[in-house]
Chains A and B, each alone.
Chain A
Amino acid sequence: MDKEESREKCNKERNFKAFSMYSAVRAGRAARRALDLATKKHHLPVPIRTVATPPPYVIVVVGPPKVGKTTLIRSLIKHYTKQKVVKPIGPITIISGKNKKLTFMECNNDLNSMIDLAKVADLVLMIIDASFGFEMETFEFLNILQVHGFPKVMGVLTHLDLFKQNKRLNKIKKRLKHRFWTEIYQGAKLFYLSGMIGDGYHRREIMNLSRFISVMKFRPLVWRSTHPYVLVDRVEDLTDPELVKRNPTTARTVSFYGYSRGISFKPSIKIHIPGVGDLPMKDVSFLPDPCPLPEEQKKRKLLEKETLIYAPMCDVGETLYDKDAVYVEMGQNVRKLDLSSGEKDILVGEGVGIVNQLVKAAAPIDEACKASTVKLFAASSGIKGSADVFEGVRSDALGTETEPNPRIRRKVVFSDVESESDSGLRWKEHMADKAEQAFLQPRPPDLMGAVYNTNHTSAINSLDESEPEDDDFFSKERHEKVGDQEIAVTEDSSKIRETGLHWDEEDVQKLLRNKFVTGEWGSEDAEKLLMEDEESDADGDFEDLEIASSEHKAEESPRDVVQQSDRLRYEEKVLKKAEFDRMYDNKDNDGLFQEMKESFAKQARINESEFENEAAEQRIQYEGFRPGLYLRIVVENVPSEFCQHLDPSYPIIIGGLLSNEENIGFVHVRIKKHRWFPRILKNNDPLIISLGWRRFQTAMQYSMQDHNMRNRLLKYTPKHMHCRATFYGPLVTPNTGFLGVQTVDRTPGFRIAATGVVLEQDACFKVVKKLKLTGVPHKVFTNTAFIKDMFTSDLEVSKFIGASIRTVSGIRGTIKKTLSAPLGSFRATFEDKIKLSDIVFLRAWYPVEPLRYYNPVTSLLQADKGSWTGMKTVGQLRFERNLKARCKADSHYKLIKREPVQFSKLTIPKSLQAELPYKSKPKLLIKKSEKTVRKQKAKKKIFKIMSKEEKQINVLLQQLNTIKNLKLTTKLKKKQADQRRAKELEKDEAKALKRQKAWKKQINRKRSKREGVARRKSASAS
């Protein structure tokens, strides 16, 4: 047996393939596990909103001060464009590949810019000083990212050259890597930059980093795939300088420039600029891409001249092409032109070159225009140009444009004809033709204009214009005066008024014959198909194919197979083949998942292709500005501080708001105090919240939901638990994450106070706190009691009639009726008799209104950007003013004094004592009172040594006393005896009296009997 087993084992090892299916159960388990793993890999498919030319990806470089952020950006830009940027400020857009653009932006350590940039970053390069380790900023930034949708993060370790020992370096690398992984995900990319060469990192390492960036894939984040936004890379103040000069604080008109990102930017939406506020948009337009991708895609690599850089906020490239102007940056010191030597122009850039040429030109351009001639024919003399020519052309163009569209009013009137003709039936002639004319032929070419151009008083293609005259009620067109104009009034009903055409006519019936299954089917008409089939059969040479012999033959010409059964078989085969392909060609053969993905892909194709052939302006009208377009957004009424304190190193974002998001209401959220934040958060303390695009300060009202869905107010957030909170702020879609900080200034320690998610929003929320009213009974009957001191007036009581109350001992009851006196007392019934010493209480819930406080953080309007302070917490104010918290005297805890309980003495009645068995009888002697004890002691202790006389006196006194006592006793005895005797006498007398009475009674009875007998006798005798 043993041998056999070992042989089997040996076989198994030798030829394991033969034993692959060893256990059905195990195989089943393995299959299930494989499927589980496959399903785990699935992510919920999201709608595809990518466009053909996406905007440049935003790469944000983050890190604590002095870790090498600027150096990294400088090295990367050097790598991509071979240009040296000394001070990379603001967004820098470059072309990184044949069809890829990148925007680099450095993030400073202000919490405001960290929050803003986390909302727009596609990739975060997180720089960590390996010689120091992780710093607070890194963790803060990671937490901000987590809340606002997690974009891709790549860690970069710098300052590795500071480690002398290799072993220690490896150890540190490993430690940092694992910490980084726990924060992001296992296996997150961490890049090592070994050290500096000159003023940059190693070229080889930067190249590797750039390769990592280029292959990075970006998953769409929820907020950004539902909101349009722009990372502003250029700001221009359009306000009239004269106005600014007169009043420096006048509201400015500013144009912002940047790529449209997220989803299409519609001109009608409201915008929010974080750090400034909600602003009205005046105008949006798109400009040619300042950093266009190379057109030719033939070569493998980019040419050097195609590697463009666009960074208007730092000193790179001096020419700017705006909508209606070209700006040339001339540098700090205006150089004096040396007109004689042309060599200098070679050294300067393009823009300066243009300016130089302009300056060098002998005559101004308008004069040159006038002087120049255009030769139309070789023989003719040149035509002189003049400025007037342009004006003439322009006015002509305008003239043609303003010509109104001719519009023909149509009216279908059936009964008109009737009145003209003699015969009542003539109007029915050419019915169909007329109807066709009315409905089909004279169509306005421009439906869009008819709908959206409101100069048309009524809609052209509208049904309601053709009013039947037989219905008088509807044919009246009513008008309404509105101020100085008059407008037609409609019925405000979706039902149409027409009764239709005369369908009993043959001609009219033809109009919709084919709308019924009984009519013609068009291309899918069965009869037609059959005809076609027959025709093809007649033409084609018929072969009797053996279907089973080869599949490809059947595939060649299915029509040739005439026999119905063969055809069916063929179709079945095709279906089976398709099914087989579907099963084995697709790795994800998960039906639902695949279906969802396909439907999204299909929708994306439709989105892409639907407006492809429209003119650019039309397309923008329908779609808005697609992501990837370079936008110029003009905004009015920007606070002057924005322009005065503009600092390009702080990001400026224009976030688009959806409808309803500009409104303010109460937002109910689930919130958790961050575990690294040192304190718990107090109810109604202000908190700065980053939600959606906005940063604002608001007052939080914390609450906890009971099992019966009641929200109970909390004084403080729990330490390690989620709770609910309500605040007054802008509305956003539920499920949006947010984070809260107490201050945005540079306070030491971890600044993120809380994180959470929006649950719902409403115009009001009910958050309650417990209210306990106590009273005492002043009269108790069996189950009824009169209770006072709970309310102060009858009105209060009457509001609470029917409310349940309870005593401390747990007896429940209800309030029944008010009592006249004392004021505020009432009658209540209980389930049992309560005691007069009980306390009765009523448990009620009191709604607490949250504070209506909403204050946007206007950090970009500050001179010192990080110094924004809103409302301070009470704690902060107390700390600043060195105040103690106020506390009521009766809230203090005092030492509780308890009197020892005095139990009354246990006394067993003597009669009971007598009956008790010996062992239960109290055996201890009764303690004598102190007086007697003292007396006894005194008696015992006093020894008098008496003289003879004294003895004699004493004896005499004793004898006298004895006599006196004796007399008294005899007297007493006598008295007692007398009394006894008197009592006995009384008793005897009473006895005698009783006896006498009885005697008398007997005698009287006998006498009366006798008399009665005598009377009867006498009566009978008489």
Chain B
Amino acid sequence: MTTATVKGNVLCYKGSNFFRQRLVLSVLSGKPIRISYIRAFEDEPGIKEFEVSLIRLFDKITNGSVIELNETGTSLYFQPGLLHGGTFSHECSTQRGVGYYLEALVMVGLFCKQPLNATLHGVTNNNIDPSADLIKTSMIRAVKNFVLDDEGLEIKVTKRGMLPLGGGEVIFKCPVRKQLRPVQLLDSGMVKRIRGTAFALRVSPAIANRIVDKAKGVLLNFLPDVYINTDQCRGKQSGKSPGFGVHLTAETTNGIIYSAEQVSNVVSNGEDPSIPEDVGEGAATRLLYEIYLGGVVDSSSQALVILCMALGQQDVSKFVTGPLTENAIGFLRHLKEFFGVTFKVAHESDEDSSGRGTQKVVLTCVGIGYKNISKRTI
């Protein structure tokens, strides 16, 4: 990744990397950004459809944003307005899942002027992005640690949609908060139960049962308390394309949830057709891997937790995670550039870690005292 060069008030980046992080942080910090050389030397230069859709989404939730894109789409200037929120619906690009957009909304949702009530249409489950279910069990759960009153913070999957046509619908509601509180979460506890949901869209419902059987087979080696639902989606609820998948969660004695998921391959994209048993086993393996990585949040919420810690009040926050993902490391670097926050990243001093997964990472930081300046007072 490249580091930012500062020209006046503008942070200048190069390349298409971490496009979403940069936009999110720009909106939150109020700093304008300029990104150049976006896939400048590729066959299809410039920003892609899903990124355009993301910019549109940011245009919808902000007021007074200035967006300048050059003709080829290889250079973007984004001057953020104030976060407004409110009720709206957004047609997400099918190139990426709804989760790609939802994650950005989860990051900025608490700092809007009006409570968010967003309806996102598109692909709810794919193999690249976290699905709406995963965001619900992992990220929303993580955010709830940072607000005292989390009433109205919810995600509802009303329709599922798979690649290539999508047709899914997710409703995301988020209240408005003035500030985040500092959190010290160090103990993850032990996994006490595993739950999950398997779904089969526009294919035989027996497939869901086959997934459940296999996933259970793997997980029962570790824990007897495994229960996986099958979600029967009918008619419009099952979207436009066939497919199946499973989403698994593991809850610990301290109420922390690890989640993992896997969906079937898309045959129309030239991939091999998936076997339900493989999907079930794959999801179970991923869940065990998440448990193995450990921490107080699972790997997909690391960036979100890092953001919430940095934006908290001027107090020390402390969090234990598994090894940092590339996404999280990128986020840490970007946070330093946008907000000047440096995290203390250290390994957990482990006394008795045999059989407890990887060595954990302790993230410590002092919040910047971010306040929701869009919020209205009476």
Contacts and interface: CB of A to CB of B under 8 A. Distances in A.
- A and B part of one assembly: yes
A806 to B, nearest CB: 33
Interface string B326-351: 11011011001011101111110000
A502 B81 CA distance: 48
Given A47-B313, A264-B366, A522-B352, A516 B223 contact: yes
A512 interface: yes
B291 A452 contact: no
Interface string B357-372: 1110100111011110
Contacts of A266: 340, 368
A760 B377 contact: yes
A482 interface: yes
A263 interface: yes
Interface in A475-500: 480-483, 485, 487-496, 498-500
B316 A734 contact: no
B129 A500 contact: no
A47 B182 CA distance: 11
A268 B329 contact: no
A730 to B, nearest CB: 11
Given A480-B16, A607-B316, A760-B376, A658 B300 contact: no
Nearest to B190: A517
B344 A499 contact: no
A661 B99 CA distance: 31
30 contacts: A49-B314, A263-B369, A264-B366, A266-B368, A439-B323, A459-B324, A461-B323, A462-B329, A463-B326, A473-B271, A480-B39, A487-B1, A487-B14, A492-B19, A494-B130, A494-B304, A495-B99, A495-B128, A496-B300, A500-B285, A503-B284, A515-B291, A517-B191, A659-B29, A660-B373, A663-B30, A734-B375, A759-B378, A761-B373, A762-B64
Given A494-B301, A763-B82, A518 B222 contact: yes
A496 B134 CA distance: 12
Nearest to B313: A47
A574 interface: no
Given A482-B14, A514-B355, A509 B221 contact: yes
Contacts of B137: none
A500 B184 contact: no
B219 to A, nearest CB: 9
B302 interface: yes
Interface string A610-639: 110000000001111000000000000000
B371 A226 contact: yes
A368 interface: no
Contacts, number: 283
A208 interface: no
A411 B156 CA distance: 39
B133 interface: no
A513 interface: yes
Contacts of A489: 15-17
Given A481-B40, A516-B222, A494 B103 contact: yes
Given A495-B130, A760-B113, A264 B314 contact: yes
Contacts of B324: 451, 459, 461-463
Contacts of A447: 345-347, 361
Interface residues of A, number: 91
Contacts of A763: 63-64, 81-82
Nearest to B194: A516
Contacts of A660: 29-30, 373
A515 B191 contact: yes
A268 B41 CA distance: 34
Interface of A: 47, 49, 226, 263-264, 266-269, 439-440, 443, 447-448, 450-452, 454, 458-459, 461-464, 473, 480-483, 485, 487-496, 498-504, 509-523, 603, 606-607, 610-611, 621-624, 658-663, 665, 731-735, 757-764
B323 A499 contact: no
B377 A759 contact: yes
Contacts of A464: 325-326
Contact of B377 (A49, A611, A734): A734
A653 B378 CA distance: 31
A54 to B, nearest CB: 15
B339 A659 contact: yes
Contact of B343 (A451, A483, A606, A659): A451
Contact of A514 (B18, B354, B365): B354
B63 A515 contact: no
Contacts of A658: 368-371
B316 A451 contact: no
B56 interface: no
Contact of A487 (B17, B338, B346): B17
Contacts of B293: 463
A733 B292 contact: no
A263 B358 CA distance: 37
A493 B339 contact: no
Contacts of B42: 480
Contact of A603 (B16, B182, B333): B182
Interface of B: 1-3, 9, 14-21, 28-31, 37, 39-42, 63-64, 81-82, 84, 99-100, 103, 113, 128-130, 134, 182, 184, 190-192, 218, 221-224, 253, 271, 282, 284-286, 288-289, 291-294, 299-304, 313-316, 318, 322-327, 329-330, 332-333, 336, 338-340, 342-347, 352, 354-359, 361, 364-366, 368-371, 373-378
B356 A494 contact: no
A511 B289 CA distance: 10
Nearest to A491: B128
Give the interface SS of chain A, mostly helix, strand, loop or mixed: loop
A762 B192 contact: no
Contact of B323 (A263, A463, A520): A463
B316 A610 contact: yes
A264 B345 CA distance: 20
Given A451-B332, A610-B364, A623-B366, A493 B100 contact: yes
Given A503-B288, A517-B191, 16 more contacts: A439-B358, A443-B359, A451-B332, A454-B3, A458-B326, A463-B326, A481-B37, A490-B18, A494-B130, A494-B299, A495-B129, A499-B282, A512-B222, A515-B355, A519-B355, A659-B338
A463 B358 CA distance: 11
A510 B138 CA distance: 26
Contacts of B99: 495
Contact of A519 (B19, B113, B190, B326): B190
A665 B64 contact: yes
A636 to B, nearest CB: 13
A493 B130 contact: yes
Contacts of B191: 515-517
Contact of B356 (A47, A512, A624, A735): A512
A734 B356 contact: no
Given A480-B16, A511-B292, A603-B315, A762 B357 contact: no
B39 to A, nearest CB: 7
What are the 7 A-B residue pairs with the smallest beta carbon separation, nearest first? Answer: A268-B340, A763-B64, A500-B289, A514-B355, A660-B30, A760-B376, A482-B14
A67 to B, nearest CB: 39
A607 B182 CA distance: 10
A839 B292 CA distance: 81
A761 B376 CA distance: 8
B105 to A, nearest CB: 13
Contact of B292 (A443, A488, A500, A606): A500
Nearest to A227: B369
B345 A448 contact: yes
Contact of A504 (B28, B190, B218, B371): B218
Contact of B373 (A610, A733, A757, A764): A733
Contact of B30 (A490, A515, A659, A762): A659
Contact of B41 (A481, A492, A519): A481
Nearest to B65: A763
A610 to B, nearest CB: 4
Contacts of B21: 492
A665 B326 contact: no
Given A517-B190, A610-B316, A622 B365 contact: yes
